[in-house]
Amino acid sequence: MPSVPPHNPPRAPGRGRGCGRCHRAGRRQSVTCGVWATGLDLSSPGGSADLVAELEELGLGAFWLSEGLVHDPFVDATRLLAATRSTVIGTGIAVIYGRHAHWMRNSARAVLDTHPDRFVFGLGTSNPRVVEEVLGLDFRRPIATLRAYLDDLDAPDGLRSMLGLPDADRLPRLLAALGPRAMDLARDRADGAITYLVPPEHTVQARAVLGPDHTLVVEQAVVVGASQNDARSRARAHVAGYLGLPTYRASWQRLGFTDADFDGGGSDRLIDAMVATGEDQVADRIAAHLAAGADHVCLQALPAQPFALPGRQWRTLSALGQSVTA
């Protein structure tokens, strides 16, 4: 995957810009940090494209799109790639439920063919809240479902065969993964993994499973530019939204958190471990993930209002990410 090559320590200080690693004119450029967007498609398409282009000028190296609430993430990725010159755009993630593997493959390949060095294809199962409550589909046996989906994704293209065309190469991709079975699948059937709502201790474990030759992208929730009380409130509300999801509770329990940490909206210990607040703590958390084995860290800035674009925080983070190395 040219845009996000695998972990290859040590990193030379001062080579960072943005998130991941990419090839530019035959040179490898280290990119350690970028931003993660939720609800971008609820904003004006032109305004959000202008904002990402502005962030690129401030040093943004990568911009990750979550599954669209209104727009398809591949459409938004194409729009943002056209609005920028060097920023890597990734789907973090495109949800497999409700998308036939044939159409998922075609969508991802269309973007990759146009921007082979600037697009990262991330996919996964998401969670029951999205799949069942939003899509109205059955969320059962997600690992088996994802494995079968990858089989379909990699199967010979019947249409190309019908037209007498050679089959295309396997799609480079990253899989959303938290638990051991999902991480094994990311190692065996993908180019690496994307983790979500995890501390650096999880990053150590993920790197051990993936080995040195696979990419590890880590999402990190953050709040910058807010008062301590406001930042704490945003962090607690964010984590509380995942307390009822078994996958996340199991992930945290494997890291030593207990049922007591899940009571009352989450213990201070849990909140502090999952969300970094303030520029100093964010910088320390980025460095900790990189030292633990992450190839890049995507920063999800928690807004004051749900789905509002945290443009001011993104501007701060675009500059902050350039100064952090493992």
Taking only the tens place, the pLDDT of each residue in 262-306 is 999 999 999 999 999 999 999 999 999 999 999 999 999 999 998
CA distance 326 to 321: 11
> pLDDT band at residue 44, thresholds of 50, 70 and 90?
confident
80 domain residue, yes or no: yes
Residue 22 pLDDT more than 70?
A: no
CA pseudo-torsion sign 194, 199, 205, 211 = positive
Q: pTM value?
A: 0.90
Helix axes 180-189, 142-154, angle to 10 degrees: 10
157 domain residue, yes or no: yes
Q: Does residue 131 or residue 152 have the better pLDDT?
A: 152
Q: Which two tokens stand for residue 322?
A: 């350039």
**Alpha carbon 214 to chain centroid, angstroms:** 15
Which of 28, 23, 5 lies closest to 118 in space, CA to CA? 23
93 domain residue, yes or no: yes
10 domain residue, yes or no: no
Q: Does residue 70 or residue 312 have the better pLDDT?
A: 312
* Number of compact structural domains in the chain: 1
154 domain residue, yes or no: yes
> pLDDT band at residue 32, thresholds of 50, 70 and 90?
confident
What's the chain's average pLDDT? 88
Residue 164 pLDDT more than 90?
A: no
- For the segment 61-81, the average pLDDT, to the nearest whole number, is 91
Residue 191 pLDDT more than 80?
A: yes
> pLDDT band at residue 21, thresholds of 50, 70 and 90?
very low
Q: Domain containing 166: what range? A: 19-321
186: helix, coil or strand? Answer: helix
237 domain residue, yes or no: yes
99 domain residue, yes or no: yes
CA distance 33 to 63: 9
Residue 167 sits in a domain whose CATH number is 3.20.20.30
